[in-house]
Amino acid sequence: MIGFGAPMLTAQPALQNFGFVMDLGILSAVVTGLVLLPTVYAATHRRPGYSQTLYRAQWFDAGVWIAKTLGRRGARVVGRWAGALYRVTHPRTVAAVRGNLALTGAAPAAVRRTFANYGETLADYFLLGSLPRPDAEALVTERIGLEHLQAAHGAGKGMLVVTAHLGLFELGSLLMNGFESSLVALSLPEPSPALNEWRAAYRRRWGVETMAVGDDQFGFVQITRELTKGRAVAMLADRPHGNQFVPVAFPGGAVPFATGPVWLSLLAGCPIVAVTVVRLPTGGYRVEAHPPLQPRWLPGGREETVEHYTRELAAIFQKVICAYPDQWYQFVPLSPSR
């Protein structure tokens, strides 16, 4: 702009007009490229529910090294401070957590505790990546409902192990120890192939396979095939993707729950076992398997059937989530209008 603006200082009208037109074009391009387009992009593209800077394989490796070096107590202290720092520097995420916790009827003070608890939970997650299985199992101080898993597995029809973003839910896989078939954990593709492999290798330490699935119908075919082989498949239900969900009434509003578990159960004829993981005041974790849910087709047809059993499944999680709202790690806005 300085270069093309110089002719405007001359006494020649032609040069003045030339400089003016060129500077006007450059100024329009600058405003459009640096102000208008970023604003439009931010308004029309939803940000992912994770930190694009921190959610990388090398940082996960660093987390495992820090947890192993500092030990559980030191890693938890660092994790709590990291959670507080993240809360201060990410107001958009804080707003999402505040809105989600309001759905549970939790007090506003629960927002601060949620980030601190999540930092400590991440510390335990990374610590698990360096512990042998006996030490990892020692983190689970209460095991409830193992008979439900054994009964569902003994039927030989496979089973869906459904959980929520509650506590250190990866610990639920330790309940599968001793079963003949390994657990298959469903996962959306990670932001990078390196992180895909990192998460898969992490789960393999506990004998858990990872199946990356998308939004296409072929994923249902793959999952159903595993269930019909008599295997256990683990999935999350409290963060649906797309429009396949049922809004479930919570004390402060409606929370969407995925209908996928019920559909898969109906297709494969297998039971659903809800598993919840929460951290206790003692520092250990309670892993609880709830009584199996066996969906059956209702006279009203598929919509009535799917809605009815999705609400039954959600009722199990609602009770635990409302009892431990500051361990419900939902960092993206939840809305039935999604």
pLDDT in tens, 99-140: 999 999 999 999 999 999 999 999 999 998 788 777 778 888
Whole-number mean pLDDT of the chain? 87
- How far apart CA 303 and CA 319 sit, in angstroms, is 24
Average pLDDT over residues 185-193: 84
Give the mean pLDDT of 308-319.
96
Q: Choose among 63, 115, 123: nearest CA to 89.
A: 115
Cα dihedral 265, 152, 145, 206 in deg (nearest 10): -90
In the chain, where the domains are located = 2-44, 58-128, 140-327
Which of the four pLDDT bands, split at 50, 70 and 90, describes residue 176? low
Q: Is the pLDDT of residue 336 over 70?
A: no
153-167, 170-184, 255-269, 317-331: which has the minimum mean pLDDT? 170-184
C-alpha distance from residue 241 to each of 68, 263, 285 (Å): 35, 14, 28
Considering only 43-57, 94-108, 251-265, which range has the smallest mean pLDDT?
A: 43-57
- Ranking 32-46, 78-92, 167-181, 243-257 by mean pLDDT, the lowest is 167-181
User: What's the pTM?
Assistant: 0.81
Residue type, 73: R
Q: Alpha-carbon distance 28 to 25, whole Å?
A: 5
